[in-house]
Chains A and B, each alone.
Chain A
Amino acid sequence: MAGKQHAMSQGESVESVAYAAGHLLETVWDAAENAELRELRTSPHVVHPGDVLFVPAPEPRDESLATGRRHVMQRLGIPSELTVRFLLDGEPRANAAYTFVIDGEERSGSTDGDGWLREPVSPLADRAEVRFTLEPVEDPDYLEEPADDDAFHEGPEPPVEPESDEPLEEVFRFNLRHMDPSTQVSGAQGRLHLLGYGLGGPRGITGKLDDPTRAALSAFQADHELEVTGDLDDATKAKLAEFTHG
């Protein structure tokens, strides 16, 4: 089959490469030339920089269209869909209103009853942001100071400090297609970070099995009833892979 070899780089997925080449994801991933890569990565959604993907040459086609009419053609395989499940203390963040920002475009939505966000995105979208507005927590012990009716103010009322209109927000930012396979230390670190196992933020994704990573792995293993080794063993890789399908 005519085509070319493509070395994957960070920020690319099989889907983004297929789209850019005019293909459906399946046409590229299922090509016979990619059998070895399919065996290595199991999912087209999680590949590693340096993986080599065969991209077939697109085969064009003509459609005969009559004049005097409006015709509709559908580009298949787009949009892609970003799916993220939000949990709060291990429980689904169900029916939660959010603001979704994708490549500068802002939309409103809410998670479903099981905490899932599903948003259509371009296969080439770069960054996504999800913002939840936090409701003010009512403190039952908080008592408002009684008004001092006896206070005497001379002259005009002092200016009242306006309360901020800005609501409190919890913000999640995603670099799309940057998640390495769970078999890689960097991939494990990325998943641990998103799952809330402190690595000190995205900067903790070093690709090295350092002490903070070992501590996070141990905590993850304990929470998921795995043998606590602090290592990226096969059982831990498999459990981490469940969170990103690969």
Chain B
Amino acid sequence: MLVRLRGLLGEFELRPRTIAESTGREFLHLDSSQVARMLRSALADLPDYRLRALLHDSEDPDARLDEAGLVDRLVRLIARGDLVLLRELHAGISPSEPEPPEPEDEDEVIERLDWIEVLIEDEAHQPVPYIAYKMVLPDGSTRTGTTNKLGIVRYDRIPSGTCQFTLVEVDTKAWKQV
């Protein structure tokens, strides 16, 4: 026996654990307060007999369906593992995880490629050309070279993230980030 529920978080099933067949579905792992909140919104227009049958299958045949205690009993049974909540894959919204982004087409991937530029200047704000550097890109690859005649290092079409930049021949006290 299973009960289909429709709540704020979409459609899901409430089943006894013993018959839980999860193909094409995923278990919802929620804390008690989340379960209670979800059940209250879902049980409003559910036929009594289905819940009675479900509770019978869950070895709680004497359970009464008075509204006051129903949600609490279901929560207890779910917490004990006698009942499980399942959701059809991609059929609803996870309460704890954001919706995954839409798959990107190739053009969008190219637009998301990133860049970085570093200017080395002196204390009179004049560019420092041909000074040696090392840069580790976000993907772990290493680039080495010297600044150009305008004192600039630039890389385009690199992954987004953080780069590690070093002036390899300069002491730590002899340069700073402006």
Contacts and interface: CB of A to CB of B under 8 A. Distances in A.
Interface of A: 21-24, 27, 56, 58-79, 120
A172 B11 CA distance: 91
Contact of A68 (B122, B160, B171): B160
Contact of B177 (A27, A59, A71, A79): A71
Given A76-B123, A120-B124, A65 B165 contact: yes
Given A73-B167, A73-B175, A67 B114 contact: yes
Contact of A71 (B118, B122, B124, B164): B118
Contacts of B116: 65-69, 71
Contacts of A58: 169-172, 174
B32 interface: no
Contact of A64 (B118, B163, B167, B171): B163
Given A58-B169, A73-B177, A63 B164 contact: yes
Given A64-B163, A65-B162, A67-B116, A79 B122 contact: yes
24 contacts: A21-B171, A23-B174, A24-B173, A59-B172, A61-B166, A63-B166, A64-B162, A64-B164, A64-B165, A65-B162, A65-B164, A67-B163, A68-B116, A72-B121, A73-B175, A74-B175, A74-B177, A75-B121, A75-B123, A75-B167, A76-B175, A76-B176, A77-B123, A120-B124
Contacts, number: 127
A22 to B, nearest CB: 4
A139 B128 CA distance: 50
Contacts of A74: 120-123, 175-178
Contacts of B119: 70-73
A75 B178 CA distance: 10
Nearest to A122: B122
Contacts of A63: 164-166, 177
Contacts of A64: 162-165
B178 A67 contact: no
A85 B3 CA distance: 97
B170 A22 contact: yes
Contacts of B123: 74-79
Nearest to A24: B174
Chain B interface size range: 35 or more
B117 interface: yes
B122 to A, nearest CB: 4
Given A71-B116, A74-B122, A75-B121, A60 B172 contact: yes
A72 B74 CA distance: 61
B178 A60 contact: no
B167 to A, nearest CB: 7
A72 B117 CA distance: 9
Nearest to B171: A58
A61 B169 CA distance: 10
Contacts of B159: 67
Given A64-B165, A65-B165, A67-B115, 4 more contacts: A59-B171, A66-B163, A76-B174, A78-B122
Nearest to A56: B171
A23 B123 CA distance: 14
Q: Which of B138, B168, B170, B176 has the most CB of A within 10 A?
A: B170
B131 interface: yes
Q: Which of B118, B126, B158 has the most CB of A within 10 A?
A: B118
